[in-house]
Amino acid sequence: MIQAPPFERHEECFVDAGPYRTRYIEAGEPNRPPVVLVHDGAFGTDAELCWGDVIDALSSEYHVFAPELLGWGGTDKVVDFARSRYEIQIAHLADFCKAVGLEGGAHLVGTSFGGSVVVRAALAASSSPLKMLSVVSISGTGGPFRRYEAVLRLGDYTPSLEAAREISRLVMDPAHPSEEHVRRRYENSLIHGHWEALKAGQLRNPARTSRRDTSKPLAARFPEALGRADVPVLLMEGTHDPINEAGWSRKLKAFCTRAEVVEIDSGHSPNLDRPAEVAAMISKFVTRVHASL
């Protein structure tokens, strides 16, 4: 099993990704295969809170980047109503990878909303400016197969320690969130513009009867279009996830037969509950894929 180097820690960095100032964590040697970790979409998350232990474990074998998406952490707070929330984040990731010198491609790993972002990105990997060598989605369904009531609970957040604790208990094993984790989530949720950016993204035109753009051809829709994914895909499912429907990974695989599925004894965020196991699963998949390139 991979282990974190004994004295190496990750480094906080900033870069202009397109027009947006972007905070990211970097670790590992530049000559190693690049892995980009994309955090979840809960209030108060950031790259380190979401991925800290996984970053340190993976950095012994990979060059690891963990950017913060638009709206989170130290990255600019931006809402774009002209594009879907997936489109703007994929474009930002493409700009980020270009800015940090990953034009040759990277292995993308996302969790929850971040997993949905990278799965969506895989649909147009061959023509996208975001060059992907492989995709790993942890609890990221791409949109469907989620439990509606749980999603509403995640979005119903007014900053307080107790509200941060409730979100942490929902995305993690309820016994796992430490007071330090809760405090950091709460403090992150107070960053200027963060709460506003996420809440603005929840606005819906009351005159629209459907959230799905039926004007698009079937080939452009999700998950029907997942069969067009032209990079290796790994779907990681927690066996007692309260947010996604049980068996969501197999349901997605039905649209993309080349995708691989793995289950882990965890809730919605195995990257938080079982970081060493998650790092080992990512390493096994990425190492095999990278060797075949």
- Burial of residue 278, with CB atoms counted within 10 A of its CB: 0-12 exposed, 13-18 middle, 19 or more buried: buried
Q: At what angle do helices 161-171 and 179-189 cross, to 10 degrees?
A: 110
**Structure pTM?**
0.93
- How far apart are the C-alpha atoms of 170 and 174, rounded to whole Å? 7
CA 171 – CA 228 distance, rounded (Å) = 30
The confidence score (pLDDT) of residue 201 equals 86
CB 185 within 8 A of CB 159: no
Domain map (residue ranges) of the chain: 11-201+216-292
Q: How far apart are CA 255 and CA 88, in angstroms?
A: 24
Residue type, 220: A
Query: Rounded CA gap, 268 and 272, in Å?
Result: 9
Contact call for residues 80 and 89 (beta carbons, < 8 A) = no
What gap in Å lies between CA 42 and CA 73, rounded to an integer? 11
Predicted confidence at residue 211, as pLDDT, reads: 57
Task: With residue 37 as reference, give the H or E element that holds it.
Answer: strand 34-38
In 3-state terms the chain splits into helix, strand, coil percentages (rounded to 5) of 40, 15, 45
Contact 16, 86 (CB under 8 A): no
Strand 20-27 with 63-67, pairing: antiparallel
- Token couple for 171: 């995305």
- 3-class state of residue 164 by DSSP: helix
Topology of domain 11-201+216-292 in CATH is Rossmann fold (3.40.50)
**Contact between 5 and 59 (Cβ < 8 Å):** yes
- The reported pLDDT for the residue numbered 1 is 36
With both helix axes pointing from N to C terminus, report the angle between 47-58 and 179-189 in degrees, rounded to the nearest 10. 130
Look up tokens 């964590």; give the residue. Answer: 25
Q: What is the mean pLDDT, run by run of 10 residues, along the chain of 293 residues?
A: 44 95 96 97 98 95 98 96 92 97 96 97 80 97 95 96 97 89 98 97 81 51 86 97 98 92 97 97 98 94
